[in-house]
Amino acid sequence: MPLMHFRFIGTSVHLDVPRKRMSVVENLVTIVDYQHTCYSTINAKSTLSLHDGTKIPALGLGTWKAEPSIVKEAVATAIEVDCAAIYGNERAVGEGISEGLKRAGISREDLFVTSKLWNTEHSSERILPACEQSIHDLGVKYLDLYLMHWPIAFKPGTRDVDDEIEVWETWEAMQMLKHEELVKSLGVSNFTRDQLQTLLEETDDKPSVNQVELHPYLPQPELAAFARENSIHLSAYSPLGTGVNSRETLPVLIEDPFIYTIARKHEKTPAQILIRWSIQSGFSSLPKSVTPQRIKENAQVFDFELDAEDMATIARLNTGNKFVTPDWKRTDGLTRSESEAQTEFVPYGQQ
């Protein structure tokens, strides 16, 4: 029986799901059935090892902002799914997981499911119910990976920052989820280098994963170096350089002429080049799509490698452009755009 991983950004079966909507985590898989069957061939090149011994797929499917009405089919077609409660589509993702398992003839144990803890659930008494709700909505008995979605706490029912809750306190409280056997691995998302450093200094439990925006325009070399030194795996969301909150003035990464030239050289699509860059850089990649054919196409990245010249060309594309920006309000009443330089709450502008 082939090993199968579902992964979607927003809604997924390597389920990475924040408490209110679903975002896809990462999984490395090769789809071998061009129908809607979710088979995958896993080999040494398609999985990555976390420091706790867990194997995570290198390629997944993002489901962020995917409509519940269409995400079910996307999940059923994908190999690994990355979800989040804040995406508001976990139930649809769960239906897709159930359908995908039936089509592929495999069991839950063959999947890697990730979800995420949303900002309003950071207090110790809210963490367990939030995780249990995601597990229930996804129709599974446990999560392979559970992430703290952002290094920031909101007051329940709002998007107002709660300064009374420390990130490291939330992280320590999340450890109970492993003891309750609700999750196998724990990690974080959107943490900067400095925020990871603080977490390591304040607690004894090292996160297995840090899921952040990573692509050639934003490779975050200092964060990547720190993560490698501390055996923290980086998972790349928006690997194709897209995001709902993208500013209209930003360039379109997938249309970059240098990426296009490399794609022609390898007879691949620009998306495949960007995904391959993530994998060769040591990151798991979470491209978003709700189109079955595109999902399959994005998985065809294990039959070629970018050479040294390709990687050097891509390295020169670093512009620091961010395509995903939070829009919540700070406790001082300023929005992110009004307090660009004050980044203690917002993990952008730092590495």
Q: What is the pLDDT of residue 62?
A: 56
Residues annotated as catalytic (active site), given as ranges = 87
Task: Please determine, for residue 239, whether its predicted confidence score (pLDDT) is greater than 90.
Answer: yes
Of 69, 73, 167, 154, residue with least CA distance to 119: 154
Residue 174 lies in a domain: yes
Average pLDDT over residues 268-287: 95
pLDDT at 105: 72
pLDDT at position 108: 79
Is pLDDT at 289 greater than 50 in this prediction?
Answer: yes
Mean predicted lDDT score pLDDT of the chain: 76
Residue of higher predicted confidence among 270 and 101? 270
pLDDT band per the 50, 70, 90 thresholds, residue 301:
very high
* φ, ψ at 133 (rounded to 5°): -65, -40
User: What single-letter DSSP state applies at residue 286?
Assistant: E
Instruction: Give a yes or no: residue 350 inside a domain.
Output: no
pLDDT in tens, 141-173: 999 999 999 999 999 988 899 999 999 999 999
Q: Residue 302 and residue 59: Cα distance in Å, rounded? A: 10
Split at pLDDT 50, 70, 90, the class of 297 is confident
Mean pLDDT of 8-27: 32
Q: Is the pLDDT of residue 316 over 90?
A: yes
Instruction: Decide if pLDDT at 344 tops 60.
Output: no
CA 86 to chain centre: 13
Q: Identify the weakest region by mean pLDDT among 164-168, 224-228, 292-296, 320-324.
A: 292-296
CA distances to 49, 106, 126, 129, 296 from 214, rounded to whole Å, are 19, 32, 30, 31, 21
Place of tokens 């797929």: 57
Between 27 and 144, name the one with better pLDDT.
Answer: 144
149 is in an annotated binding site: yes
Decide if pLDDT at 278 tops 70.
Answer: yes
Beta carbons within 8 Å of 44's beta carbon, 6+ residues apart: none
Give whichever of 42-51, 235-244, 272-281 has the largest mean pLDDT.
Answer: 272-281
pLDDT of the residue at 7: 37
Please tell me the total count of domains within the chain: 1
Query: pLDDT (tens digit, 9 = 90+) per residue, 120-137?
Result: 999 999 999 999 999 999
Phi, psi for 231 (deg, rounded to 5):
55, 40
Q: Does residue 349 lie in a domain region? A: no
CATH code assigned at 259: 3.20.20.100
In a domain, 309, yes or no: yes
Of 24 and 282, more confident: 282
Q: Calculate mean pLDDT across residues 29-57.
A: 54
Greater confidence, 113 or 65? 113
pLDDT of 154: 94
pLDDT in tens, 317-340: 999 998 888 766 444 444 443 333
- Judge whether residue 256 has pLDDT over 70: yes
Which residue would you say has higher pLDDT here, 42 or 113? 113
Position 194 confidence tier, pLDDT thresholds 50, 70, 90: very high
Question: Quick check: is 344 in a domain?
Answer: no
pLDDT at 89 (0 to 100): 65
- Is residue 346 domain-resident? no
As a whole number, mean pLDDT of residues 225-230 equals: 98
User: Is 200 within 8 Å of 51 (Cβ atoms)?
Assistant: no
Per-residue pLDDT reduced to its tens digit, 69-103: 444 444 444 445 567 776 666 777 777 777 777 77
* Least confident interval from 54-58, 225-229, 285-289: 285-289
Greatest alpha-carbon pair distance for the chain in Å reads: 55
55, part of any domain: yes
Q: Check residue 95 and give its pLDDT.
A: 75
Q: Looking at the domain assignment, is residue 280 inside a domain? A: yes
Domain encompassing residue 157? 9-339
